[in-house]
Amino acid sequence: MKKGRKKLVVLLLFFLLSGTAYAHMQAKGTLRMGTETEPAAALSLTEEDVRQAAEDGSFTVNINEAGQSELMLLEGIGEKISQRIVDYRQTNGPFLSKEDIMKVSGIGEKTYENIKEFITIE
């Protein structure tokens, strides 16, 4: 990951995770660190935890369960596209593969390449 992108991801993660998005992810259980979902009571992320997760690639967002705020943690995914992802799931059901996210209007190959290591369907 490019140095500038890392900084942006870390900053976005820190600010969003420390606010409403963090609380929402805890409640829904969609924040994943490593391969397991951490219990909400056990989640207490520091800025260093977020930075490390972004750098080692252990931060993932489940695109079949995440709400708008979680989806907006992904590079290139803003409010409008995150809503389209949620709408797409409601209309078509869950994504069957990570690549299926490119069926959402506004997500092309470039965006997919930037987020593919940070998304999961499980």
Cα angle 95-97-101, degrees, rounded to a multiple of 5: 60
For 1-24, what is each residue's pLDDT tens digit? 555 555 556 555 555 555 544 555
- As a whole number of angstroms, the distance between CA 68 and CA 73 comes to 9
Question: For 55-71, how does the pLDDT look when each residue is reduced to its tens digit (9 = 90+)?
Answer: 666 678 999 999 998 89
**pLDDT of the residue at 67:** 93
Query: Quick check: pTM over 0.75?
Result: no
pLDDT for the residue 17: 56
Q: Quick: pLDDT tens for 64-98.
A: 999 998 898 888 999 999 999 999 999 999 999 99
Query: Hey, what domains does the chain have and what are their CATH numbers?
Result: 3-31+42-120 (1.10.150.280)
CA 85 from centre of chain: 12
Q: Are 83 and 107 in contact (CB under 8 A)?
A: no
Dihedral, 82, 109, 119, 16 alpha carbons, nearest 10:
-40
